[in-house]
Amino acid sequence: DAKTTQPPSMDCAEGRAANLPCNHSTISGNEYVYWYRQIHSQGPQYIIHGLKNNETNEMASLIITEDRKSSTLILPHATLRDTAVYYCIVRPGFYNQGGKLIFGQGTELSVKP
């Protein structure tokens, strides 16, 4: 399974865009990039995932570089409720490789007023 590298912590001002980077330089062709977040002591919350194209949903945008070795999660207008630990995960896409998620240490995002 490809490993990911994220900064341990980041700050963001409320109302500004939060850009969370992730390095996954050993990603292989069939691996998806997933983002989850976890607010203290709650279950992780799914945010977004993608394979090679940029993706957007109601929560966030995911920008994947052309070589797929890194990605950025963008929260366009961060609020205090976005304060959480954000995890970037790569997962094999094949059916027979199962569905496990390998969590790293994540990035602790603090949104400040």
Partner 1 sequence: KAGVTQTPRYLIKTRGQQVTLSCSPISGHRSVSWYQQTPGQGLQFLFEYFSETQRNKGNFPGRFSGRQFSNSRSEMNVSTLELGDSALYLCASSLETGGRNEQFFGPGTRLTVL
Chain residues in the site for partner 1 (CB under 8 A): 30-32, 34, 38, 41-46, 49, 87, 91-105
Instruction: Give, rounded to a whole angstrom, the gap between the first and last alpha carbons of the chain.
Output: 38
| Minimum separation from the CB atom of position 34 to partner 1 (A) | 7
Please write down the HEC assignment for all residues of 23-84: ECCCCCCCEEEEEEEECCCCCCEEEEEECCCCEECCCCEEEECCCCCEEEEEECCCCHHHCE
Instruction: Quote the CA–CA distance of 68 and 51 in Å, as a whole number.
Output: 8
Shortest Å, Cβ 104 to partner 1 = 8
Beta carbon nearer to partner 1, 30 or 54? 30
- Work out how close the CB of 113 gets to partner 1 at its nearest, in angstroms, rounded to a whole number: 28
Our CB check for partner 1 shows the closer of 13 and 26 to be 26
Q: Residue 107 CB, nearest distance to partner 1 (Å)?
A: 13
* Closer to partner 1 by Cβ: residue 14 or 108: 108
